[in-house]
Structure 1
């Protein structure tokens, strides 16, 4: 009779469990259409046309792409920034956090074992039911030196959560690489601005000296009645304007040194020692002979966006498993007694248990469905951010190539203007030596040459900064690390 009753209870429990399992699966929401990661936008024709118009080289910049500019001061600045920049250190700390989260999530795949000691002393009411069995004063002691809990990951929740944590950590690693690339590019462009300002300061100082000499000459000629009064006045106005520009560039050089010092994690005094020597820069920069489009997909920011989207997909799986029964294996062994002396001395105090614990989601007030919807929306947003990153990357490459072509064309045309000004200066000097013109003509010719060199400094700075933009747009030679 007892065996039949036990069998009936077992069958009833199985039927109830199966019914709840089926019911739980029936409550699972219908799947909706998810966002899709786009392929790399077409840019092959743009690159091909640029390579046909611009000189190319087989050299491709490695992660230390700034070496191509052949400037020890620039190399020192970038290395100091990568070592000491506070924002970069903060990003590195985020990577340590993400790696710790991976370790914490990986621990969910293993059983947990802990111990427990409990002592209770309680007085029951004299009118309570417990008094009939345990008396008014009741003491209970539990010593469980071994309590085991193991989550049976039937639906892949723990594995999906671990994959999501790994993806987030690798994404942060890529974000750190992107931060390094952005910092090095910012330092390089800041140094080029400093070099341009320092060069222009030298040129404007020479222009000021020539303007001063020209003003003295005009004043002398005015005293001799050889020119109108307007001549020295006009020269004086031009001299004051040149002096204003000189003062502006003095301040600009200091401000740019302060900026570079801050990027390097140092104070303004450290920046005063930064030397700007544009003479070391290469006279010409060439495009890489091969611009592999596959590098765009491995740009650190794009790789990070893709990894965040993939991690969000794993988190959808975690949210989906919440609709299924959760199964844990629980076991304990220990000593239980109502007597503090008996608990350690009598074998009858030994207690143990082992068995599964199954939880069924029946009614959650819409919490599980809302969480799943949230994770799906998070995934869609991550995918669209990835798609936007791809479009932005392709645009950056195309813009840099167009800008490079423009700068090369302008430099070629400006070189003709500079050569013409230099020829005019040589002619004025020859005529002056022969006594066929006055000294003011020679000074004006020299000022024209300085003006052309002044504009040349602007174009050369734009060329170097455009090269940095292209190297950055192509990832700066970055190679993605898929493993944490």
Structure 2
């Protein structure tokens, strides 16, 4: 029964009840009260790093350039990075995720717009007389129809706009993630190349040790022939040769492993590594530390920028969840023509139309809307926590690498002195042994000390190169905001306000 089917007097009595009924319906609506996110964005300036970074003697300068690896001065390294960035499965995956986010943003945008569709068809039927009688049965009846269907959901509370904006923010995050993937790949190439350089240095040291061992064996054999030394000294000296050969073989295995790793980072098979020559003499360029940390780091680290965009998207999803608590208004219209014969579709008597505005109001959802809003709040808190953690990790990485660069520079200087001293000791022990005033144990001890000092220096040199590369990566690896300004909001004041 509808209001229009009641008698006029009863309808007059019912009209005053309509406002009261509406008030009761609104009072019974699901409420979002008491639900709000708890996450708060960290202020970068509250994470003090002045004292830690002030102890560094690095020069103050700008952030790294986008092609920072060229500072190592090796054209082969430059070519390898360019080859990797030209096409790698990890980059393809990042680009695919970006296109996926763009497609989802397109869907969210389409949900804000009206929809119009057209349909047409022809229906024919013949029913038996035994079922519908002689009037309709026993003959064929057909009709053709063309209809236009229009639908539009009015965005009264901005929920659809917020959903679209959240999707756009996700696109921004995916675009930054794609840049981060390129930075990670370039950094991986550089670090694998440094490992190849370290393996070649180990190979050089092993060859020098093998040469020293062979010369010592010749000297000991001469002394035994002269009746000065015994077979014991000869066997001790000869034992150094296979040990040096084993070190040489191990270094070659490390060279092969580094080449294979580089081939994989290039997205190629192991044979690609066979064509990678020995690196040139890599050296640490004059490292420079920007004097605008930590605040400027927010816009230079792609992981922080992407995390900030995700916070923005999560905040807008809270608006979407809140909009579901309010009434929604939809407008549907259907118009078209229908006629028994297709040729009669254009006649005025064949038209039909339908208009269906609809207002819906959630009253009882069994807690579904509150659960959805609570989930959106939790997702926002997760995004904020991810952003805060990324910020803390970024400053820790910068501080760690600054400390490493400073310490390794001092360690290399000390170890160079140790190598020089061990080399002098080995030469002196050899001279005394040849002169007959020293023994073979002194030579053996000095030789072992020299080998250890050389190996330690090679390791420290590689650690220096790695620390330089990691510091550059910690400073953003040359990432810069795009020219269109879509770098991402990097201050807490630019955040959406899901707490209101």
**Normalised TM-score (structure 2):** 0.83
Q: Single out whichever of 195-204 and 20-29 deviates more from structure 2.
A: 20-29
Tell me, yes or no, if the aligned pair for 1:50 and 1:405 is still in contact at 8 Å. Answer: no
Tell me, yes or no, if the aligned pair for 1:43 and 1:394 is still in contact at 8 Å. Answer: no
3-state SS of paired residue (2:117): strand
3-state SS of paired residue (1:416): helix
Task: Indicate the residue corresponding to 2:153 in structure 1.
Answer: 151
C-alpha change, 1:27 and 1:45, in structure 2 (3 Å) is: closer
Tell me, yes or no, if the aligned pair for 2:284 and 2:465 is still in contact at 8 Å. Answer: no
* Residue 44 of structure 2 is aligned to residue 42 of structure 1: no
How far 1:342 sits from its partner (Å)?
Answer: 8.0
How far 1:213 sits from its partner (Å)?
Answer: 2.0
* Residue 111 of structure 2 is aligned to residue 108 of structure 1: yes
Tell me, yes or no, if the aligned pair for 2:71 and 2:285 is still in contact at 8 Å. Answer: no
Aligned counterpart in structure 2 of residue 254 of structure 1, from 232, 250, 256:
256
Task: Indicate the residue corresponding to 2:386 in structure 1.
Answer: 385
C-alpha change, 1:452 and 1:345, in structure 2 (3 Å) is: closer
3-state SS of paired residue (1:329): strand
Structure 1 distance, partners of 2:240, 2:21, is 95
Tell me, yes or no, if the aligned pair for 1:194 and 1:256 is still in contact at 8 Å. Answer: yes
Task: Indicate the residue corresponding to 1:28 in structure 2.
Answer: 32
C-alpha change, 1:311 and 1:202, in structure 2 (3 Å) is: same
3-state SS of paired residue (1:363): coil
3-state SS of paired residue (2:55): helix
Task: Indicate the residue corresponding to 1:357 in structure 2.
Answer: 358
3-state SS of paired residue (2:118): strand
* 1:178-193 alignment, distance < 5 Å: 178-193=180-195
Aligned counterpart in structure 2 of residue 212 of structure 1, from 211, 214, 225:
214
Q: Single out whichever of 419-428 and 143-152 deviates more from structure 2.
A: 419-428
Structure 2 distance, partners of 1:289, 1:215, is 55
Structure 2 distance, partners of 1:13, 1:274, is 87
How far 1:435 sits from its partner (Å)?
Answer: 6.8
After superposition, the CA RMSD in angstroms is: 3.6
C-alpha change, 1:162 and 1:10, in structure 2 (3 Å) is: farther
Tell me, yes or no, if the aligned pair for 1:342 and 1:349 is still in contact at 8 Å. Answer: no
**Normalised TM-score (structure 1):** 0.86
Q: Single out whichever of 380-389 and 226-235 deviates more from structure 2.
A: 226-235
3-state SS of paired residue (1:31): coil
Structure 1 distance, partners of 2:197, 2:307, is 35
* 1:321-360 alignment, distance < 5 Å: 321-337=323-339, 339-340=340-341, 344=345, 346-360=347-361
Task: Indicate the residue corresponding to 1:292 in structure 2.
Answer: 293
Structure 2 distance, partners of 1:108, 1:409, is 62
C-alpha change, 1:154 and 1:221, in structure 2 (3 Å) is: same
3-state SS of paired residue (2:363): coil
Structure 2 distance, partners of 1:328, 1:138, is 40
List gaps (5 residues or longer) in structure 1: none
How far 1:420 sits from its partner (Å)?
Answer: 2.6
C-alpha change, 1:447 and 1:345, in structure 2 (3 Å) is: closer
How far 1:60 sits from its partner (Å)?
Answer: 4.0
C-alpha change, 1:57 and 1:27, in structure 2 (3 Å) is: closer
Q: How many residues align?
A: 474
C-alpha change, 1:334 and 1:138, in structure 2 (3 Å) is: farther
C-alpha change, 1:341 and 1:99, in structure 2 (3 Å) is: closer
* 1:418-433 alignment, distance < 5 Å: 418-424=419-425
Tell me, yes or no, if the aligned pair for 2:30 and 2:325 is still in contact at 8 Å. Answer: no
